[in-house]
Chains A and B, each alone.
Chain A
Amino acid sequence: MKRDATSPERGDSTRPRMPTWVKVFAIVGLILFIAVLILHLTGNSLGNHGIDK
């Protein structure tokens, strides 16, 4: 069987783990989401985007 980029990193019998880069992306995305949420809740963004200010 041809080994390819989609094959499990440790062989066919082992479910592949989530790659590190995906975990990093998820963490960064979560941080950004929380930051935007905090800005929104403190009235700094997203709602009316400063319109009428």
Chain B
Amino acid sequence: MVMPPAVRKFALTAHVTTSVGWLGSVAAFLALSIVGLASGDTMTVRGAYIAADAITWYVIVPLSLASLAGGLIQSVGTTWGVCRHYWVLVKLLLTTAATLLLLLHTKPIAYVADRAANAALAPGDLRRLRIQLVADASLALIALLVNTALSIFKPRGVTPYGYRRQAEERASAPADQAIVSLPERASSPRSPASD
């Protein structure tokens, strides 16, 4: 089920946009969580955590879900496949894990924001939780940077399933037809659908 070139490019654009947007918004969240943790000014701390909560719900969560969906569409709709190549599989696992952990962490983010909105947070208040927000955002940023690198470099490696599919395709192809295993078989004459 290979997408036509125009559809593929649109889907790729959407996927890249949401993925990079997710990365940028996590970086912004990290900055806000660091300010909230380090600042001694009550109003600054309050503003930082309220903004972090808003950015989580209105930017990070939608972008993460869109990125995950876009990646699946890109995989299924091109000859890269979901499970044929290790770089695709690792990206999928990282994205899924990051999205699930993000959804788990919306509650503590909202809790800190709510506490900050209703009362001044002293430097020692909720300190472990506030440190955890910084740590979690840092780890998320690293995961997203790894995903970005995988997208660009596409390190080699075919899974056993991908190897079997290639063997089947070679076996079923006519004898006088050269088989190209890469997504070059997709309708685009240039390099495959990639992000």
Contact = CB atoms under 8 A, between A and B. Distances in A.
B108 to A, nearest CB: 4
A49 B107 CA distance: 9
Nearest to A3: B181
B2 to A, nearest CB: 16
The prevalent SS among residues of B at the interface is helix
Interface size bracket, B side = 20 to 34
A25 B97 CA distance: 14
Interface of B: 84-86, 90, 93, 104-105, 107-108, 111, 126, 128-129, 132, 154-158, 160, 162-163, 166, 170, 178-182, 184
Given A6-B156, A50-B108, 20 more contacts: A1-B170, A1-B178, A5-B154, A5-B182, A6-B85, A8-B163, A9-B156, A12-B170, A15-B160, A16-B157, A16-B163, A21-B157, A25-B90, A45-B132, A49-B108, A49-B111, A50-B132, A51-B107, A51-B129, A53-B126
